[in-house]
Amino acid sequence: MSTPESNRVALVTGGSGGIGRVVAERLARDGFAVAVQYAGNRAKAEETVAAINAVGGRALAVGGDVADEDAMGTAFDTVRSAFGGIDVVVNTAGIMILAPVETLDLADLDRMHRTNIRGTFVVNQQAARTVRSGGAVVNFSTSVVRTQLPTYGAYGAYVASKAAVEAMTLVLARELRGRDITVNAVAPGPTATPLFLQGKDEGTVDKFAKATPLERLGRPEDIAETVAFLAGPARWINGQVLYANGGLA
């Protein structure tokens, strides 16, 4: 039997800023107690927690490297001790380093894949061990996995890491057969976060916006709505990748 909405608990990795923060705040509005995971910026995580608590929600911050199994084990234990269990795990944590395959520094490849692949695996492993019946796991991929725009020529290593996330998602959904836990991934398109906008001139941003039939960039709120759907009412969607990109081809 599913846990009542008012007693549900979500852990959001990378929840201190960008899409992760908006996801944490969105789930809190749905009645979730929310754990905001951060890697290095505790102050920003505490800001997210304070914003949730200020409007009557329940939140706490938990630190640790998502690729460190001991740190994540401690984080999951902390959340369970504080809130009584975990129902939803949303793994937004990830890094993106752009360079053509020909010139990418292999140290950057290792660093990115450590967070995006190993980190997703560690978080999913902990989720598989702890998420309660009726719960959900939501991973993060990228629409660049399937887009064919020529401007994405430097995304090879990043796309490879996210393709691994998608494969992991589909397999874990099947591994959790019989436990009433869904596992899906969200694949955002270009989204107006500070990280995305950094270093781009107005013309470049406009090209990204016009690439979608809706002719705008995504907003973090658009992505958070998709996560909230998968974390709540979307019980018949499982083992899928949802492309939240405004129709980007």
Show which residues are catalytic: 155
Tokens of 106: 């292999």
Helix (H, G, I), strand (E, B) or coil at 196: helix
Dihedral Cα 221, 213, 234, 115, nearest 10 deg: -60
Sheet of 182-188, strand order: 58-63, 33-38, 9-13, 86-91, 131-140, 182-188, 241-244
Helix (H, G, I), strand (E, B) or coil at 145: helix
CB atoms within 10 A of CB 177: 9
Q: For residue 177, what are the contacts with CB-CB under 8 A and spacing of at least 6?
A: none
DSSP conformational letter for 80? H
Contact 140, 186 (CB under 8 A): yes
Distance of CA 167 to the CA centre of its chain: 15
